[in-house]
Structure 1
């Protein structure tokens, strides 16, 4: 195993638990290393720091796997997965839909694993995880004993790592009939092949379970609804009418299935449209809502895109405020790490000022506990959820 030195003074964050070493912090050239190659890290003076893997093509040149000098093999992943599984069982017991492995927060940077019943959906997001694919799959099979392992290695993170997307069945046979899971108080269909990312947006569980039963009254708009868990939980909790708005016809079909299964179809309708176009149409029709759930995709994927992304969040939120009845409630979310909590709250304050309306925050939430946060790595905390009553 080769050794890479960190520049003088740059090792402190790593010793405190930060798991990334950026290319400008590395003393030695990593140009000739293979992407995903395991290395030892040391200070400039040769003091051992940890074991990680390197990618010469990435801004994040090194990702730390362990602070002890150990081999990275199946036993390593068995230990990591066993600890992650124990934590989820402590939190959720036998829940049917859980994020079992959350990358850096479970000390396996670049790996995401979601479980739906006894099926696993896996995302290898970095060269280091791709390199250890066989050991990871063996460890997953031993710890979880899944019926199916399905891969959804897609998205911008793989592109940044110089990796192509990879989707397909790893082991087992896909269910011949549709699978249903209980999530946030609602039965939802799960399609391992067609679902976005790794399936459901499990990070919103706590926010849905906490805020929706308190506010589910009157006429509801579930914008960027995907398969509709916000609106479905609102309908179950007593909302008079729920509109699901999404650009994906497939996702809306899933929401309709779930509404029928829960016998909520009479209060639910769908709008298959771009959100901004739909908001404009609602305004022209003078439609108003008592509650709007706003959970858009990430508008800010890097520091360089912050200004454009900020404008996107501002625009969609001000259009939502225009559609609210006086005294209505906006539940607004951002999954962009670069939009920090204080910036998001400031954005909502500025939206209200622009629209000449006042408001009161009644709830602030974050990602669910199966997406734990490393205190030394703010990057592991990304989700913001604010419920604000708008006068």
Structure 2
């Protein structure tokens, strides 16, 4: 086994010491200016010489080290990476063997599968790799080789968003990595609903697979009556609702015209009755509905992430409060509120707490019927609870 550079950590400031957290911040490194290039494998030690584990160093990132192993007994090499990929794949295969096969799922969920910094999603015959850190970039070809040998996809895409690129010292990318790109949108099926996914013009990896089970769960609670779907993207919640309650009048709102065009395409693909698609800012549109004294039986809120770091949490909570307050104001008595947050920095307790504040403000009782998270293919590592980012609360509003 090679001798790796040793990094000594400040025991009093090391976030990773609390249960071997996979993120070691720059402030936790005694000498954060070490002249090591990005991607260097390092051994992490306490001042006493006790081992914390082995990880990958990036001098350009606030997360200075991604910790992948809790001991120094195993090498951090290609064989290790392939074992981790296989474990992640086997977990999904086991679940599908007991339930049903999916043609779109998350194959690797970053920290949840012990592979901090990489997400892999499969959409039919195409696979999307999203890097959220520099750490595993040197092994990108190995990851692509594994995907080809395992799934023989038509195409593999690589995505590195602008925020990640800035934080990690990378170039942002949205490109074909291998294979032949599809000539048009891919068709997948979610909970018996057909969806056309355009990988060339989509958010994140292509579609929000984490809400799969939540869309089905919410649809089971929806009664006939007007429904408002706020931040609808390509129509996932609206189409699930339309499938269960075809007589419901549905208004679906998003600020992105391209997303709404995708939603209209998906509506036509399924042959469902019409949905009123509206391009508007979600905050402004809700306030307009309040001013018009509009009433809905169901309101669904699935806004984009509002807090990516601790400094944004207070503003995010105020924004969520504003959205939910106006949603409750337009709900009929006995109506259904499906409210979501994908901001990992906003805790489940804080999210439920702001609903309590909404209840007090409106003097209306809110009952949480279900408190849900991401679907099975988005596992969470107990040493990194921040990665349990998704909250979906299904509530009755009296």
Q: With structure 1 as the length reference, what TM-score do the two structures score? A: 0.94
Secondary structure of 1:132's aligned partner: helix
In the other structure, the counterpart of 2:176 is: 169
Match of 1:336 among 323, 343, 350: 343
In the alignment, is residue 83 of structure 1 matched against residue 83 of structure 2? no
Secondary structure, counterpart of 1:128 in structure 2: coil
Partner residue, 1:241: 249
> Matches of 1:301 and 1:386 in 2, distance apart?
21
Pair 1:131 & 2:138 matched = yes
Measured in 1, the distance between the counterparts of 2:198 and 2:93 equals 24
Q: Is the 8 A contact 1:363 1:388 kept in 2?
A: yes
| Residue of structure 2 equivalent to 1:43 | 46
Match of 2:326 in 1: 319
- Give, in angstroms, the shift of residue 82 of structure 1: 0.8
Report the more deviating stretch, 11-20 or 244-253. 11-20
Alignment of 1:160 with 2:167, yes or no, is: yes
Counterpart selection for 1:264 from 261, 264, 272: 272
Match of 1:278 among 276, 285, 288: 285
User: Given that residues 256 and 265 in structure 1 are in contact (C-alpha distance below 8 angstroms), is that contact kept between their aligned partners in structure 2?
Assistant: no
Quote the offset at 1:133 in angstroms: 2.0
Q: Distance in 2 between matches of 1:141 and 1:73?
A: 20
The residue matched to 1:200 in structure 2 has which SS?
coil
5+ residue gaps in structure 1? Answer: none
- In the alignment, which residue of structure 2 is the partner of 1:96? 103
SS of aligned partner of 1:299: coil
What residue number does 2:122 align with? 115
* SS across alignment from 1:152: strand
Q: CA deviation at 1:14?
A: 4.7
Equivalents in 1 of 2:149, 2:69: separation in Å? 21
The Cα of 1:81 is off from its aligned counterpart by 1.0
Counterparts of 1:156 and 1:265 in 2: how far apart (Å)? 39
| CA displacement at 1:216 relative to structure 2 | 4.3
CA-to-aligned-CA distance 1:283-336 (integer Å, 9 cap, x gap): 333321100110001112211111211111111111111211111111111111
**Matched-pair contact (CA < 8 Å) for 2:348–2:391:** yes
RMSD, aligned α-carbons: 1.9
Q: TM-score, normalised by structure 2?
A: 0.93
2:300 alignment partner, SS class: strand
**Aligned-pair distance for 1:26?**
1.8
Residue 280 of structure 1, CA deviation = 2.6
Contact 1:49 1:67 in 2 (8 A): yes
Counterparts of 2:196 and 2:350, CA distance in 1: 35
Describe the shift of the 1:3–1:270 C-alpha distance in structure 2 as closer, same or farther (beyond 3 A): same
1:74 matched residue in structure 2: 78
Q: Does the alignment pair 1:24 with 2:32?
A: no
Alignment partners' CA distance in 2, 1:14 and 1:141: 37
Aligned to 2:227: 220
Cα shift at 1:206? 1.8
CA contact (8 A) 2:127 2:156 kept: yes
Answer with 279-288 or 361-370: which moved more: 279-288
* Pair 1:53 & 2:56 matched: yes
Distance (Å, rounded) in 1 between the aligned partners of 2:33 and 2:83: 29
Displacement of 1:155: 4.2
Provide, for residues 160-180 of structure 1, a one-character-per-residue CA deviation record: whole Å limited to 9, x for no partner: 112221110000111124311
Match of 1:350 among 339, 357, 361: 357
Structure 2: runs of 5 or more not aligned: none
Match for 1:362 among 365, 369, 383? 369
- Aligned partners of 2:284 and 2:242: how far apart in 1? 25
